Amino acid sequence: MKQKEILLNSLLKDEKITLSNLNEEEIGEQHISTGVETPLRADAFKLSEDEKMAKIEMHFKAIMETLGLDLNDDSLKGTPKRVAKMYVKEIFNGLDPANKPKVALFENKYKYNQMLVEKDITFYSNCEHHFVPIFGKAHVAYISNGQVIGLSKLNRIVQYFSKRPQVQERMTMQIAKELQKVLKTDDVAVIIDAKHLCVSSRGVQDHASGTVTSFYGGQFERETTRTELFKYIELK
- What is the chain's Cα-based Rg? 20
One DSSP character per residue, 79-102 reads HHHHHHHIIIIIITGGGSGGGSPP
Active-site choice (57, 118, 166, 196): 196
Instruction: From the candidates 31, 129, 166, 178, give the one annotated as an active-site residue.
Output: 129
Of 31, 159, 166, 198, which residue is the catalytic one?
A: 198
User: Beta-carbon neighbour count of residue 139 at 10 Å?
Assistant: 22
Task: Name the active-site residue from 57, 118, 130, 139.
Answer: 130
59 annotated active-site: no
Q: Is 177 left (phi over 0), alpha (psi -120 to 50) or beta?
A: alpha
Give yes or no: 5 in active site.
no
CB contact set of 49 (below 8 Å; sequence gap of 6+): 88, 89
User: Among 31, 118, 127, 174, which one carries the catalytic annotation?
Assistant: 127
Active site residue 127: yes
Q: Which of 168, 174, 178, 180 is catalytic?
A: 168
Whether residue 212 contacts residue 193, with contact meaning beta carbons closer than 8 Å, is answered with yes
Residue 130 annotated in active site:
yes
**Catalytic-residue membership of 205:** no
Catalytic residue among 128, 159, 169, 174: 128
Tell me which residue of 203, 116, 194 sits closest to 151, measured CA to CA: 116
- Catalytic residue numbers? 127-130, 168, 196, 198
